[in-house]
Chain A
Amino acid sequence: GAVVSQHPSRVICKSGTSVKIECRSLDFQATTMFWYRQFPKQSLMLMATSNEGSKATYEQGVEKDKFLINHASLTLSTLTVTSAHPEDSSFYICSANPGSVGSGELFFGEGSRLTVL
């Protein structure tokens, strides 16, 4: 299957700092990537849809000024958590759909675990 990679896999930061997470599609181009968040013992919740060359689309309740998304190329989307606070500690997962393959299955990265102290 298609490969999606995230970096870093784990990050610990101090409260008030910003953290950038990268999501790359390694063997396909993705005009659209998706960012999910998962709190402990909960399911994945879609945060936003990242669109190459245009603004991201955020789900209701997700602050666009806090979670900055940049999709500058067809293989890279970044999520920046600005002024992070302990309540932002979570597992962040990106995904992408290689639209030319199959009938639309989504492939996920390994996830990035953010801990804000």
Chain B
Amino acid sequence: DAKTTQPTSMDCAEGRAANLPCNHSTISGNEYVYWYRQIHSQGPQYIIHGLKNNETNEMASLIITEDRKSSTLILPHATLRDTAVYYCIVRDYGQNFVFGPGTRLSVLP
């Protein structure tokens, strides 16, 4: 079973920041938080991952709370091409990636 809970769906206006929350209250000390997204009929695309510190790359920022029980993926300026299902996954190195239902993000013009 997935170790995370996410809202089923979210809307975001084009050009605005999209903030996608994820709860992982049972996360253990060695487990990383990964984010992937899946555009319709494509394989999942890696976005970002982190352990404790906030992370930023060219795609997004990952904010992890101090107690690590939740995190937020931030797409700073959402475009229509960011419409996808976003998966938050908690995983220790060497474990399998277990996908939950994810959040269906719709970026609206």
Contact = CB atoms under 8 A, between A and B. Distances in A.
Nearest to A42: B101
Decide if the interface of chain B is mainly helix, strand, loop or mixed. loop
Contacts of B43: 4, 6, 93, 95, 108-111
Given A103-B32, A104-B32, A105-B34, A44 B44 contact: yes
A39 B99 CA distance: 13
B80 to A, nearest CB: 21
A92 to B, nearest CB: 10
A93 B36 CA distance: 14
Interface residues of B, number: 23
A54 interface: no
A86 B87 CA distance: 28
Contact of B96 (A1, A34, A43): A34
Contacts of A34: 96-97
A56 interface: no
B17 interface: no
Interface residues of A, number: 24
A106 interface: yes
A58 interface: no
Nearest to A2: B46
A113 interface: yes
Contacts of A113: 41
A49 interface: yes
Interface of A: 1, 4, 6, 34, 36, 42-46, 49, 91, 93, 95, 103-111, 113
Closest 5 CB pairs of A and B: A108-B43, A44-B99, A43-B99, A111-B43, A108-B44
